[in-house]
């Protein structure tokens, strides 16, 4: 997987932050698709009493999608880019939403500890150097039965979807990013999607980490076959389970 170094990537997102919301707003499905993935977590009771972790929250688009799906939940939203978080912080949020500046690889050091009822990752996993390590950390941060939704550019594996992604990047995304001075970041976006796991490969990573009921669902519109919601949950202990120390 070709990655920018972590520090370079955080810096590239710092630079892109002022224009980020405007740029993603050009993609008609961006917010609706995030909301769809958040709804797919099927959080009960409007999220009352639940604590959700939003990793790679950026300027808060995924956080807002989670709030729409679970308006009563407590949400901890984490990002490695101070610039993206600054943009998130100036928006209006209910008291239960907290933003934390930290790489997802160092959540415990930042005081972000579970157990969480759900974890959401919107367009994060392509960017992390060791997705298996991050998935394992997320799995242990979930309470038993807790749910994961990963909303990601992950190609279906068909040549047509791969070609469509490249065509859209060359015709629209990279030229638009060039106007805001972020050409390298959007070239990286193009490349990172081509190099990231296809749907079966990422689903296999979730299985291998121990997630149960792993599924990948498409989104509608031009991103069908390009963006997917991956769902999984941490296993519930079996009937014979007894907590250590419990009687």
Ligand X SMILES: C[S@@+](CC[C@H](N)C(=O)[O-])C[C@H]1O[C@@H](n2cnc3c(N)ncnc32)[C@H](O)[C@@H]1O
Binding site for ligand X (CB under 6 A): 9-10, 13, 34, 56-58, 61-62, 79-81, 84, 103-105, 122-124, 127-128
DSSP H or E stretch at residue 149: strand 142-153
| Closer residue to ligand X (CB): 133 or 235 | 133
| Closer residue to ligand X (CB): 26 or 235 | 26
Strand arrangement, sheet containing 97-101: 97-101, 74-79, 51-55, 116-122, 142-153, 227-233, 212-218
How many residues are given for the chain?
247
| Closer residue to ligand X (CB): 214 or 227 | 227
Rounded Cα distance, 24 and 49, in Å: 31
State in angstroms the smallest separation of the CB of 45 from ligand X. Answer: 24
Contacts of 20 (CB under 8 A, 6+ apart): 13, 58, 59, 84, 87
State in angstroms the smallest separation of the CB of 63 from ligand X. Answer: 8
State in angstroms the smallest separation of the CB of 173 from ligand X. Answer: 12
| Closer residue to ligand X (CB): 84 or 174 | 84
| Closer residue to ligand X (CB): 122 or 177 | 122
Rounded Cα distance, 230 and 210, in Å: 14
State in angstroms the smallest separation of the CB of 106 from ligand X. Answer: 8
Minimal CB distance residue for ligand X: 58
State in angstroms the smallest separation of the CB of 130 from ligand X. Answer: 10
Rounded Cα distance, 152 and 170, in Å: 20
Rounded Cα distance, 56 and 190, in Å: 18
User: Parallel, antiparallel, or unpaired for β 212-218 and 142-153?
Assistant: unpaired
């Amino acid at each position: 997987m070709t990655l920018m170094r972590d520090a370079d990537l955080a810096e590239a997102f710092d630079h892109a932050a002022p224009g980020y919301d405007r740029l993603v707003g050009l993609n008609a499905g961006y917010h609706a698709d995030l909301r769809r993935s958040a709804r797919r977590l099927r959080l009960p009771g409007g999220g009352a009493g639940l604590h959700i972790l939003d990793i790679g929250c950026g300027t808060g688009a995924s956080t807002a999608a989670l709030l729409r799906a679970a308006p009563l939940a407590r949400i901890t939203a984490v990002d490695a880019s101070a610039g993206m978080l600054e943009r998130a912080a100036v928006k209006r949020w209910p008291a239960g939403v907290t933003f934390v500046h930290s790489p997802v690889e160092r959540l415990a050091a930042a005081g972000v500890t579970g157990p969480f009822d759900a974890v959401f990752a919107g367009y994060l996993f392509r960017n992390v150097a060791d997705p298996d390590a991050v998935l394992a950390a997320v799995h242990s941060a979930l309470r038993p039965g807790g749910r994961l939704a990963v909303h990601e550019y992950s190609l279906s594996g068909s040549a047509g979807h791969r070609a469509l992604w490249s065509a859209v990047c060359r015709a629209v995304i990279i030229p638009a990013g060039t106007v805001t001075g972020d050409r390298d970041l959007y070239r990286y976006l193009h490349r990172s999607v081509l190099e990231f796991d296809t749907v079966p490969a990422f689903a296999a990573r979730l299985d291998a980490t121990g997630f149960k009921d792993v599924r990948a669902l498409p989104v509608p519109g031009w991103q069908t076959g390009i963006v997917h919601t991956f769902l999984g949950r941490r296993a519930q202990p079996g009937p014979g389970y007894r907590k250590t120390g419990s009687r």
